[in-house]
Amino acid sequence: MQRLVLFDLDRTLIDLGSAFGLWAEEFAETHRLGSDAVAWLKEIDHVTHPHREAFFSNVREHFQLLTPVEELWAEYRRRMPYLVKPYPGVLDELAQLRILGWKVGIVTNGTADNQLGKLRQTGLAEAVDGYAVSGVEGIRKPEVGLFEIAAKRCGLSLAGGGWMVGDNLTADIEGGRNAGLRTIWVDHGTWPGKEHRADHVVGNVAEAFAHLRP
Task: Output b/e per residue, 8-26; b: 16+ Cβ within 10 A.
Answer: bbbbbbbbbeebbbebbee
Q: Print pLDDT tens along the chain (214 aa).
A: 999 999 999 999 999 999 999 999 999 999 999 889 999 999 988 776 667 888 999 999 999 999 999 999 999 999 999 999 999 999 999 999 999 999 999 999 999 999 999 999 999 999 999 999 999 999 999 999 999 999 999 999 999 999 999 999 999 999 999 999 999 999 988 767 778 889 999 999 999 999 998 7
Q: Please tell me the distance from the alpha carbon of residue 30 to that of residue 146, in angstroms, as a whole number.
A: 37
Q: Please tell me the distance from the alpha carbon of residue 127 to that of residue 106, in angstroms, as a whole number.
A: 10
7, 29, 69, 178 from 151: Cα distances, Å: 11, 42, 36, 14
Beta carbons of 84 and 122 less than 8 angstroms apart? yes
pLDDT number for residue 50: 61
Beta bridge partners of 103: 4
pLDDT number for residue 49: 67
pLDDT number for residue 53: 86
Q: Please tell me the distance from the alpha carbon of residue 66 to that of residue 157, in angstroms, as a whole number.
A: 49
Helix/strand/coil for 195: coil
* Full strand arrangement of the beta sheet holding 182-186: 130-133, 103-108, 4-7, 163-166, 182-186, 200-202
Superfamily grouping for domain 3-15+85-212: HAD superfamily/HAD-like (3.40.50.1000)
